[in-house]
Amino acid sequence: MSLEVRELHVAVEGKEILRGVNLKVGKGEVHALMGPNGSGKSTLAYTLMGHPKYQVTSGDILVDGESILTLTPDKRARKGLFLAFQYPVSVQGVSMFSFLRAAYNSAHAQSQPTIFEFKEKLNEKLKMLGMGEEILNRYLNEGFSGGEKKRAEILQMALIEPKYAVLDETDSGLDIDALRIVAEGINKLSGPERGILLITHYQRILRYVKPQFVHVMYEGKIIESGGEELSRLLEEKGYSWIKGYKGEEVSAEV
């Protein structure tokens, strides 16, 4: 049981961004995907969820052995995929509660709870993540701090309970306290029933979320893979020592 990417090539407006990505995230595994800006990390995230801007020119994406290339984003979500955005958008006039209920019902079309059952489940997830119920009455991400937006993404993940979660630079823009809170939420949601792909530019979140596998992406390819020790080497040496890296020496930490 896995989320698998096979020789994936992706173009945006005719320009090739991904150039043969291979990656396999099994249930119960936490993978960190690192790399400098512009290496293709977010392109991979949006392609996995079926964003129409990203054209798959060859290769395949499989969930539990089944190709999802022809599926729309909502159908991919029903297959168990989830994407936490790097830049969550604000929506006036739509409360967090209404949005979360609609998202849950869409992802679980076969077993939709009553509103009372849903409230009970939602309150359970709020407590697990240390979040107050008052957030539910606010408009979706409207006036939220960077930390609140990222915690709201983790709340969605906790509620939907996907098989495979792709977290696109969930640590970006967070101060150290917000980073720790978000990381604690990710750790609480890790487990044998869920595979996590944590996309990050920096090593700092990996001090709190410990991946079993670390991959380095550069120029649309994964050019190095290893264990947690690889992230520590990146923090210490940057990317320039990796075979195949031709860019400027860039630190994996700021």
Task: Read off the pLDDT of residues 204-220 as tens digits, 9 standing for 90 and up.
Answer: 888 899 999 999 999 99
Residue 254 domain-assigned? no
Strand 221-226 to 213-218 pairing: antiparallel
Please state the rounded mean pLDDT for residues 129-147. Answer: 88
pLDDT for 50 beyond 60: yes
Name the pTM for this structure.
0.89
Average per-residue pLDDT for the chain:
89
What value does the mean pLDDT take over residues 190-215? 91
Q: Indicate whether 135 belongs to any domain.
A: yes
Instruction: Report how far residue 213's alpha carbon sits from residue 33's, in angstroms, rounded to the nearest whole number.
Output: 9
Of the listed ranges 19-28, 119-128, 215-224, 228-237, the least confidently predicted one is 228-237
Look at residue 252 and tell me if it is in a domain.
Answer: no
Give the residue numbers spanning the domain of 64. Answer: 2-237
Enumerate the β-bridge partners of residue 54: 12
Residue 91 half-sphere exposure, CB side, CA atoms within 13 Å?
A: 11
Look at the block and give the residue holding tokens 């264990």.
227
Tell me if 37 is assigned to some domain.
yes
| pLDDT score, position 67 | 97
Kindly report, residue by residue over 225-254, the tens digit of the pLDDT.
999 889 888 888 888 778 777 765 544 443
Express each pLDDT in 91-108 by its tens digit. Answer: 888 999 999 999 888 887
Say which CATH number the domain at 144 has.
3.40.50.300
Confirm whether 244 is domain-assigned.
no
Residue 128 has a pLDDT of 84
- Which pLDDT value is given to residue 146? 83
> Is there a contact between 64 and 193 (Cβ–Cβ < 8 Å)?
no
**Residue 104 pLDDT:** 87
Q: Is residue 8 part of a domain?
A: yes
Domain count of the fold of the chain: 1
